[in-house]
Structures are given as C-alpha cells and as structure tokens.
Amino acid sequence: MFHDFKYKTILAASTRAAWQIDDVIGPGATLDFSRPFMPENLARTGGLTMLRPEEKLTLNHIRAHEYLSLFGVVEEFILPFVLDHVRDGLRESDEVQVQAMLNFASEEAKHIELFKRFQQVFTEGFRRHCDIIGPPEAVAEAVLGHEPLSVALFILMIEWMTQSHYVDSVKDDAELDPLFASLLKNHWIEEAQHAKLDTLMVEALAKGKTEAELHAAVDGFMAIVSFFDTGCRQQAKFNLDALEAIHGPKASEADRLELLNKQHQALRWTYLGSGLVHEKFRSTLGGLSQNQLARINALVQKFR
C-alpha cells in the first residue's frame, strides 16, 4: 500500500478546509473575458493555426464553461454512488467512516451548486448559450449501471485528475482569470480529501476479489472510459458550434475537421488521459493487480 489514509484524519482535514459558496463566488462576482480561463495544457487552443487570436480566446472560454459544467455532470453520479457507500460504514458500525462519507457527499452537492453558480455568471458575461452533453440523469444511469468497483475506479481517476489539473496547470498561471482560478483552487482543496476516500472505497470494494473478478471490473471501467470518449467527441462538436455561432463558420471543411480532431484530443487528455497517467491512481490499481494496470497502459497513448 502506498498510503496511510484513515477516515479520521481525512474527516478532520476536510472539516478544517471547508468553505462556503458565497465566499468563493458571491453576489456580483464577474469573469474577465479579456483573459483566458483555462490553462493552455488543457485548452490546447494555442496551436490551432486556423483560428485568429480572438477565436482562440473564445474557444478557451467555451472550454472553461465545458470544464466546470462537465464536472457538474460527473458529480451528479458521484453523489448517489457515495451515498450508497455510506451503508458499508453503517454495516461495520464505523461512525467516523459514515461521517466522512456523508461529508464527502455533502461537499459534492455543494460543488454541483458552485458550478451552477459559475454557469450563471458565465452566461451573463458570455451572452451565448453553450451546449453540454447529457442530461446528467442519463449519464448517471449509464455509469451507475456498471458494477461498483468499475465506477469507484473511474471516480478515483477523476478525483486525482482534478488534483493534477490545479497543481500542474492552474496554480502558477498568472494569466488566468482570477475568479475561474479561484474556483478551481477551492475545488482542488476539497477534492484532495475525496481522492483519499475514493482510494479507501476502491480497496474495500476490491477486497477478496479474484483476478478474473478484477478483470471484469476493469472491463467495466474501460467501458465507462469509452462512453466518456464518445461524449468528448460530441462535446468537441458542441464547442465548435458555439465558436462558429459567434465568429462564423470555418472557410474549409478540412480546417473544421482538423479543429474537431484536435479539440477532441484536448478533451480526451483533459478528462481521461491526465487521469489514466496519474501516479496515485496507477498505484492503487497496480496494488490490486499489475496485470490490470498493464491493460490501462495500452489505453493511455490514445488519450494523450
């Protein structure tokens, strides 16, 4: 095991770090649309030679709206999944575990609200509608139809991914809009404890499983990854539609296709690749089975 995560210390840390939505995005909060919101490592608009600078900036804003909106979508299935897992603590009469998991669920509910607040502020400034894949209920139904260990692995990957997004790409980027950067910072603070709770959840769900059972769970995990990859393609199309609604259509079909392919790859890296390569996610999966980790390695290249 690479960690010493305990429900008690996680709960204490999360209680210390908790914040209120109004402190992060209060009444009158605004975004500065003259600045980028998303870090270039995730937005990947810089190298799109077929776009003018103002188009790149608009696409960056559309990507930022997509980013927090999709986190809202994802957290709508994390919340019921975590609540289901509260029962495990009840069965074992572990009050601290129950409290930690309930706290986790309530923080995700708060994040969903935070992202909705952001969408309002964004729409007020952007003054255009940007489509988002979904609806969240349909995404939740598709994901939660898989076995719990498959879902828990996917959630674990997402939680660690948010950590590296903030630390590697947002924290030291002074160009970014301060409100957007602060939303990501505050989300990162609470997600740090979620990633640890997810690790414990994955280990509990995997306990006693045979290699064949782990293989089946990773099959389910890969099916969820593939489901989201299809979603990334659709979302990239929505983003281009929103961009063209503002700046007009691209002159050539070839440019449009190249733009779509490159942005699809940018979304793949944002939501899948950057999670699959995360060292902590890989340690947990490798701790269950090196064979199953090797299967994930084969996927990484596709999502870089």
Stretch that binds Fe ion, among 84-92, 93-101, 184-192, 238-246 (CB under 5 A): 184-192
198 binds Fe ion (CB under 5 A): no
Stretch that binds Fe ion, among 115-123, 190-198, 212-220, 272-280 (CB under 5 A): 190-198
Question: Which residues lie below 8 Å from residue 178, measured CB to CB, with a gap of 6+?
Answer: 32
Q: Which of 192/232 has CB closer to Fe ion?
A: 192
* Contact of 284 with 61, CB cutoff 8 Å: no
H/E element, 181:
helix 178-206
Measured from the CB of residue 45, what is the shortest distance to Fe ion in angstroms?
25
Measured from the CB of residue 44, what is the shortest distance to Fe ion in angstroms?
23
H/E element, 92:
none
Q: Which of 165/194 has CB closer to Fe ion?
A: 194
Stretch that binds Fe ion, among 22-30, 37-45, 56-64, 192-200 (CB under 5 A): 192-200
* Contact of 170 with 185, CB cutoff 8 Å: yes
The Cα 159–Cα 124 span in angstroms is 29
Considering only residues 97 through 116, tell me which ones interact with Fe ion, judged by CB under 5 A: 111
191 binds Fe ion (CB under 5 A): yes
Measured from the CB of residue 276, what is the shortest distance to Fe ion in angstroms?
18
Q: Which of 117/194 has CB closer to Fe ion?
A: 194
Q: Which of 66/191 has CB closer to Fe ion?
A: 191
Q: Which of 48/192 has CB closer to Fe ion?
A: 192
The Cα 259–Cα 95 span in angstroms is 52
73: Cα within 13 Å, side-chain hemisphere? 22
Stretch that binds Fe ion, among 28-36, 45-53, 187-195, 281-289 (CB under 5 A): 187-195
Q: Which of 177/190 has CB closer to Fe ion?
A: 190
What is the DSSP code string of 198-266? Answer: HHHHHHHHHTT--HHHHHHHHHHHHHHHHHHHHHHHHHHHHHHHHHHHHH---S-HHHHHHHHHHHHHH
83: Cα within 13 Å, side-chain hemisphere? 12
Stretch that binds Fe ion, among 21-29, 83-91, 188-196, 274-282 (CB under 5 A): 188-196
Identify the residue among 194, 250, 264, 268 touching Fe ion (CB under 5 A): 194
Q: Which of 264/275 has CB closer to Fe ion?
A: 275
Measured from the CB of residue 191, what is the shortest distance to Fe ion in angstroms?
5
Size of the site for Fe ion (CB under 5 A): 3
The Cα 145–Cα 150 span in angstroms is 10
| Backbone region of residue 176 per phi and psi (left: phi > 0; alpha: psi in -120 to 50; beta: other values) | beta
Question: DSSP class of residue 302?
Answer: G
Give the residue among 74, 49, 111, 51 at the shortest CA–CA distance from 239: 51
- Give residues in contact with Fe ion (CB under 5 A): 111, 191, 194
